Amino acid sequence: MNQLLLAIDESIERATAQVETTLDLFDGDDVTAYLLHDFVDNPEGASVSQVDAVTRAQSLLEAEGVTVEFRERSGEPARSIVETADDLNVDAVCVAGRKRSPTGKVLFGSVTQSVILQTDRPVIVCSPSDAPERSE
């Protein structure tokens, strides 16, 4: 059984890319996917199950036989991702990168880059344009 952590932000497009990449790499019946959303700031007490991108990923994964569990954290996203991966002892982490200029990467940092540098687990990086098309 493969255990994967999909770190999902607010983007349905990026969440869909993560799901498509996961399904392309792993047999759905042999996967448990933990869908993590980090609320950097959550004063209203929202739940991970209220995030459209997370529920979209859940729907797509469960349709392919993947076991799905929700996780949520608050704080610095990269740290939340690495700590959750460690807590769950997952086999790999899947993140969706964003298109950024080199200057933007230097000025604002990169969650993806931080996760890669802070964990010893395999990190699968995908983007909406990289997601393989699945035949129905």
CATH of the domain at 73: 3.40.50.620
Contact 15, 96 (CB under 8 A): yes
Structure confidence by residue, pLDDT tens digits, 18-77: 999 999 999 878 899 999 999 876 556 678 888 999 999 999 999 999 999 999 998 899
Rounded to 10 deg, the angle between the 52-63 and 12-25 helix axes is 20
Task: Give the DSSP H/E element, type plus range, for residue 72.
Answer: strand 67-74
Confidence label for 114 from pLDDT (cuts 50, 70 and 90): very high
Is 134 within the bounds of a domain?
Answer: no
- The chain-wide mean pLDDT, for the chain, equals 86
| Nearest to 21, CA basis, from 135, 136, 134, 132 | 132
- What's the start-to-end Cα distance of the chain, in Å? 24
Q: How many domains does the chain have?
A: 1
The CA angle 61-20-92, to the nearest 5 degrees, is 80
The range of the structural domain enclosing residue 101 comes to 2-126
Q: Is residue 66 part of a domain?
A: yes
pLDDT of 127 reads 79
Asked if residue 111 belongs to a domain, the reply is yes
For residue 10, which amino acid is it? E
Pairing status of strand 31-39 against strand 67-74 = parallel
Query: Considering the domain boundaries, does residue 87 fall inside one?
Result: yes
Question: Residue 75: inside a domain, yes or no?
Answer: yes
Whether 6 is in a domain gets the answer yes
Look at residue 64 and tell me if it is in a domain: yes
For the record, the structure tokens of 55 come out as 């529920």
Amino acid letter, 80: S
30-50 burial by CB neighbour count: b if 16+ within 10 A, else e? ebbbbbbbbbeeeeeeeebee
